[in-house]
Amino acid sequence: MTGGATAVVQAASAGGVLRLTLNNPGRKNAIGPAMVNELLHALEGGMADEAVRCVVLTGAGDAFCAGGDFAQLTGAEGAPAPAPKGDYADLLLAMANSSKPIVARVNGHALGGGLGLVAASHFAIAARGAKLGTPEINVGLFPMMIMAVLQRHVSRRRLLEMMLLGQRLDADEAAQCGLLSRVVEPGALDAAVDEVTRAIAAKSPIAVRL
């Protein structure tokens, strides 16, 4: 899972930073069982690798993650059926319990399950123009699974408004309600993420261990 042609998560490590890229741009990096499985394996490897000081999570193309991949969830389009290491709830738990900081590089829209990944990260830096939201209610689903990680950052009243109305917030609104650490212009996103990861990598791994 280090950048193979069929990998739905691409992993690359340099300078103490493990970069994980959701690699399903044709479906706006929608997350399904295969992607969850690869993320769980990649995070486990990163936690065990003493050279890794922090993790960056981002998406390929112009989206961070558009939410659940219903084609995979229903078994359509010949979706792969990997031996699962865990499900989406296990992934959120693994991120929340990570001993190394996770930085979400929100390069585009983060919706539904994608917003859950942002909320489960320790830092979240977004490009202005990104939208974040929970549109599941619009197709008859309640986003229960991500509620636990969202309520760590957002007041209950604001959270219910988002979830029950299916609202999409722009990046500045998401930062105001606590979902994002910082919002920058798209051209400044990499520099902003690098600033955080370099600062973490320069410190004692014991000191920054969560």
**Domain residue ranges of the chain, discontinuous segments joined by +:** 9-201
Residue 6's pLDDT band (cuts 50, 70, 90): low
pLDDT tens per residue across span 144-180: 889 999 999 999 999 999 999 999 999 999 999 999 9
According to CATH, the topology of domain 9-201 is 2-enoyl-CoA Hydratase; Chain A, domain 1 (3.90.226)
pLDDT surpassing 90 at residue 208: no
Q: How many CB atoms lie within 10 A of CB 70?
A: 13
pLDDT surpassing 90 at residue 69: no
pLDDT tens per residue across span 12-51: 999 999 999 999 999 999 999 999 999 999 999 999 999 9
Q: How far apart are CA 122 and CA 96, in angstroms?
A: 8
